[in-house]
A and B are shown apart, each in its own frame.
Chain A
Amino acid sequence: MSLADDSLEETMAVTMTVNGERVSRAVPVRQNLIDFLRTGLGLTGSHIGCEHGICGACSLRLDGAVVRGCLTLAVQADGAEVVTIEGLTASGEAADLQAAFVERNALQCGYCTPGMLMTAAELLASDATPDRDGIREFMSGNFCRCTGYQAIVDAIETVLRKRRRLA
């Protein structure tokens, strides 16, 4: 893609599993994981919103836990398992959540959505069954400028109740 000429950067060889595929690359040591995934691997589903860890647009799964892609260096993911929205989609793990987002129109511009889904997927995978306020609290590190959040909370609540067989 558009990575700079390697000779211009200090790089390090890394191998990681991204969405189930093993990839080996020489990555600039100063490059964030999110930049590596987007420009190095063409996985543009995760977005960049603030690059200082506030907005959550770059949320992805690193070794099983949701993290900010902008607050981790790509070289730190050496040997790690990374799952992005593309992987989450391919696995079908969040298909019900994605369908609920569409049906409830829990997104408008869609820019925050992959990060929202990565975060919500962690809630769904846990054994917690929070109420609406608890869902709001869990999602409180992901910024959405379009929806006002209610539809997002609705969609997550619907799926949570279905998965927990509460409704």
Chain B
Amino acid sequence: MTAEIKAKLTPLDRPNTYVGRTVSRQGARKAVAGAGQYTDDISLPRMLHAAFVRSPYAHARLTKLDVNAAKTAPGVALVMTGKELAERITAPWLGTLTCFPGMKAAPQYPMVIERACWQGEPVAIVVAQSRALAEDAAELVEIEWQELPAAADKETALDRTTPVIHPDLGDNLAFEKTIGSGDVDAAFKAADIVVEETFRFGRHTAVSLESRAILADYNKPAERLILYTSSQAPHMIQTIYARMLGIPDHNVRIVAPDVGGSFGMKIHSYGDEVATAAASMALGRPVKFIADRLESFVSDIHARENLIKARLAVSRAGDIEAIEIDVLSGAGAYSQYPRTSVFEANQVLTITGGPYRHKHYRAKATVVYMNKVPTSQYRAVGHPIGNSVGESLVDMAAAACGLDPLEIRRRNVMPDDGYPAVTAGGIKVKELSHQKCLAALERRMNYAALRAEQAILRKQGIYRGIGIAAFIKGTAPGPNGYYGIGGAPISLQDACTIRLDPGGGIICAVGVTEQGQGVNTVMGQIAATTLGVPLDQVRVISGDTDATPFGGGTYASRATAIGGEAVLKAAGELRAEILSIAGALLQAPAGSLDIVDGHIVDAGTDRRRISLKEIGRIGHFQLHELPNSVQPRLSVTHRFRLLDDLYILTNGVSGATVDVDTDTGFITLRKAWVVEDCGRIVNPLLADEQVRGGFVQGLGGALYEHCIYDDAAQLVNGTLADYLTPMAGEMPDIDVAHIHTPTSVSELGAKGVGESGTASAPAVVMNAVNDALRPLGARVTEQPMTPEVVLRALGKI
């Protein structure tokens, strides 16, 4: 390669680049040896353990709370009631954002003061020498309740006969919103064909295998609070806890050690965790709280409970003309702070039908409170619902027009050469690739052969279904979107501080965080590539507010797209400084030098001149070797955010084959395919595994997962034996492929990938099931698609 050509390549394209290469994760090497360190693995001197008394009722007034017996139980150090905790905090939470005009929410205290509003709401914290002793003492808390009628059903939540959960709000309405474009009524009136259906989506919860966990360590003399906690967003937690507990931000340190899964569930603030921190402050001793699985089911946020009436207008030729949806979204007893409980419905409104070119769209959301666990952001917020509804309608339209599901999508998706564009839902989109994705999916599935096989199988009484579902996914939100403009203490930008240490090592501290996706590895790959050093010369630090620059953490598939660009820019600046120092030392123009494999080399010939280790030594110790004009910084912080864009939109299309046993209603997943476009991929294997894992998480909701409540708003299946998660035996192999359309908002060009599978799996598997059932005239419109649901659709029961 000539020097001239080489000079034109960006560092990301260099032959020795780590960007675009699969490398294994250091975190994985640790985890397989059992050497990971999760919050519960940390023990501190004089550490105590917390357990909670929780409300057994969905709605009840506290008429007696006597903690005296508990306080004197063996090993007990502290019992704190909700009322006592309320005196220790500065103000209750209010889960609203100004970007949701008209939204109503009630102030929420960390624990019940006089009235419990959901089963599982914490009432008192008991701190003792062991968790067992704390649980013993919690049973001694004397408590009496006056049970109140509960709002258990979203469809009757606004009825006059339903109790109003928060009288100050007037009713149980949290939020209403209608968006739209074009002339929907006229389009439906003039339409050749209108298809309509009502869809139901059950509540789920995240079930991270490591439950919520916090170890609070308050040092009274130093007035310093350290929280070790399984969190995706340490800096946000720092801000919230500092405000809540009246401690200056800079005296609060959040450490997120290894995090055993999070999926959006660990970006929220939880009353029991605040109580744990307050208990540590009261005692001046470390207090650990590990949510057990039973309390996780009634205290981790829930999501996805929606009822949607939808219709779509299509021409006889198969052109989609209009879509209308009416969303009833069932929130819990409070709006979850700080992201609210209305975001899911908002996302359903904006993304439904998002891949298509139709010009007429109206979407209305009504979000209501119920006496259930609060709801909020969970992996792929709203997308599994919106995609399921939109893609079901498209399949219904295809059937009505006599078109193949693939053909109707080819006909209606936004064209790859038609960007920038605005969707009917009002999202500005650019650099998408629906057409390329559809073509790739058709090839990878060998679609025609699958259809031929399906026809043969049907003659044998086997109901094979083939599903196709396109999707869009909002990733990596910007500050002009919801949280920034809405007033939340959530950072929409992210940061990297990168430095050269005396030994030549590169320390890359980032604001985004690692939960096993490989964020640290990906950041290291970007840093090593940009700088020109071997990957093992870079150490990435994340998850510690004392050691990393302020950032938003990992959520909404933003780590690589936002955090990665910050690393790229910071590393680029450090590289420039290193070359400038090297130039001064070598008396050569910086532009004539390059960094390759940890050494300063002559650009073009790669002749080694001096190592980075030498630059580190001289830059930190032997400064006399440098001219007086050179004052090394050797540490650079860079931040990155989106400017005007709400999101970096991604897109893709999925395929799935299932067999439906029409006698039992059991669905067997056979195989799935995902073709998605997350722009530039830094680590192909990690990107693929994000898609696969996310897809299976989506399958869980489509087929198994359901928080089932009875009429008294009691969760009746809050154990892992009763709440069914996807297990190895039933899950399919998933073929993953990518189209690469880099985003122009960054030099890196990466878009988010972590939620694409989850966003599309429920839609594609529902379409596959309905493809199998179509010859029988049956249609499933409810998730999870249990045998009972399928049998009812078939009219067998």
**Nearest residue, chain B, Cβ from A89:** B33
With a CB–CB cut-off of 8 A, which chain B residues contact A151? 689, 692
How many whole Å from B79's CB to the nearest CB in chain A?
A: 17
With a CB–CB cut-off of 8 A, which chain B residues contact A149? 696, 726-728, 731
Does B721 contact A150, Cβ atoms closer than 8 Å? no
Whether A108 contacts B74 in the complex (CB less than 8 A), given A45-B35, A54-B721, comes out as no
Of B37, B133, B729, most A-chain CB atoms within 10 Å:
B729
- How many A residues are at the interface, by size bracket? 35 or more
Stretch touching chain A among B254-262, B347-355, B440-448, B623-631: B254-262
Q: Which residues in window 11-44 of B have CB below 8 A to A? A: 24-25, 27-38, 40-41, 43
Does A98 contact B261, Cβ atoms closer than 8 Å? no
Does B33 contact A148, Cβ atoms closer than 8 Å? no
With a CB–CB cut-off of 8 A, which chain A residues contact B28? 101-102, 105, 107, 110
In Å, the complex CA distance between A103 and B24 comes to: 6
Does B293 contact A50, Cβ atoms closer than 8 Å? yes
How many whole Å from B563's CB to the nearest CB in chain A?
A: 17
- Residue-by-residue, is A40-51 near B (CB-CB < 8 Å gives 1, otherwise 0)? 001111111111
Whether A50 contacts B686 in the complex (CB less than 8 A), given A89-B34, A142-B728, A148-B731, comes out as no
Does A107 contact B516, Cβ atoms closer than 8 Å? yes
Whether A107 contacts B49 in the complex (CB less than 8 A), given A5-B129, A145-B725, comes out as no
Does A85 contact B34, Cβ atoms closer than 8 Å? yes
A82 contacts chain B at the CB level, 8 A cutoff = no
Whether A105 contacts B25 in the complex (CB less than 8 A), given A51-B293, A139-B728, comes out as yes
Q: Which residues in window 673-719 of B have CB below 8 A to A? A: 685-686, 689, 692-697, 719
How many whole Å from B112's CB to the nearest CB in chain A?
A: 25
Whether A146 contacts B43 in the complex (CB less than 8 A), given A8-B75, A50-B293, comes out as no
In Å, the complex CA distance between A46 and B260 comes to: 13
**Nearest residue, chain B, Cβ from A137:** B729
Does A110 contact B133, Cβ atoms closer than 8 Å? no
How many whole Å from A161's CB to the nearest CB in chain B?
A: 17
- Residue-by-residue, is A1-22 near B (CB-CB < 8 Å gives 1, otherwise 0)? 1111100110000000000000
* CB < 8 Å neighbour of B693 from A52, A55, A132, A148: A148
Stretch touching chain A among B139-147, B158-166, B202-210, B655-663: B202-210
In Å, the complex CA distance between A4 and B129 comes to: 5
With a CB–CB cut-off of 8 A, which chain B residues contact A113? 31-32
B720 contacts chain A at the CB level, 8 A cutoff = yes
Does B35 contact A109, Cβ atoms closer than 8 Å? no
B132 contacts chain A at the CB level, 8 A cutoff = yes
* CB < 8 Å neighbour of A111 from B38, B128, B734: B38
* CB < 8 Å neighbour of B697 from A3, A86, A102, A145: A145
Q: Which residues in window 129-167 of A have CB below 8 A to B? A: 132, 135-137, 139-153
Interface size on B, residues (CB 8 A): 66
How many whole Å from A157's CB to the nearest CB in chain B?
A: 11
What number of A-B contacts does a CB cutoff of 8 Å give? 201
* CB < 8 Å neighbour of A145 from B27, B130, B132, B207: B207
B416 contacts chain A at the CB level, 8 A cutoff = no
Whether A111 contacts B209 in the complex (CB less than 8 A), given A85-B33, A136-B729, A150-B731, comes out as yes
In Å, the complex CA distance between A76 and B276 comes to: 33
In Å, the complex CA distance between A105 and B24 comes to: 7
In Å, the complex CA distance between A55 and B37 comes to: 19
In Å, the complex CA distance between A28 and B135 comes to: 15
How many whole Å from B140's CB to the nearest CB in chain A?
A: 14
How many whole Å from A7's CB to the nearest CB in chain B?
A: 8
**Nearest residue, chain B, Cβ from A146:** B693
B356 contacts chain A at the CB level, 8 A cutoff = no
* CB < 8 Å neighbour of A105 from B74, B290, B685, B695: B685
Does B209 contact A143, Cβ atoms closer than 8 Å? yes
Does B27 contact A110, Cβ atoms closer than 8 Å? yes
How many whole Å from B665's CB to the nearest CB in chain A?
A: 21
Whether A107 contacts B32 in the complex (CB less than 8 A), given A4-B75, A151-B689, comes out as yes
- Residue-by-residue, is A64-100 near B (CB-CB < 8 Å gives 1, otherwise 0)? 0000000000000000000011101100000000100
Would you give 22 A-B contacts (Cβ < 8 Å), ordered by A?
A4-B129, A8-B133, A47-B38, A47-B260, A48-B40, A49-B293, A52-B721, A54-B721, A57-B209, A98-B33, A102-B29, A105-B686, A110-B27, A111-B36, A111-B38, A111-B261, A142-B727, A144-B209, A145-B208, A147-B692, A148-B695, A148-B734
Ordered nearest first, which 5 A-B pairs have the shortest CB separation?
A: A45-B34, A110-B31, A111-B260, A148-B696, A85-B34
**Could you list which residues of chain A lie within 8 angstroms of chain B, going by C-beta atoms?**
1-5, 8-9, 28, 30-31, 38-39, 42-52, 54-55, 57, 84-86, 88-89, 98, 101-105, 107-114, 117, 132, 135-137, 139-153
- 7 new A-B contacts at CB < 8 Å, known A85-B34, A139-B729, A147-B689: A38-B41, A102-B24, A108-B516, A110-B260, A117-B32, A143-B727, A144-B209
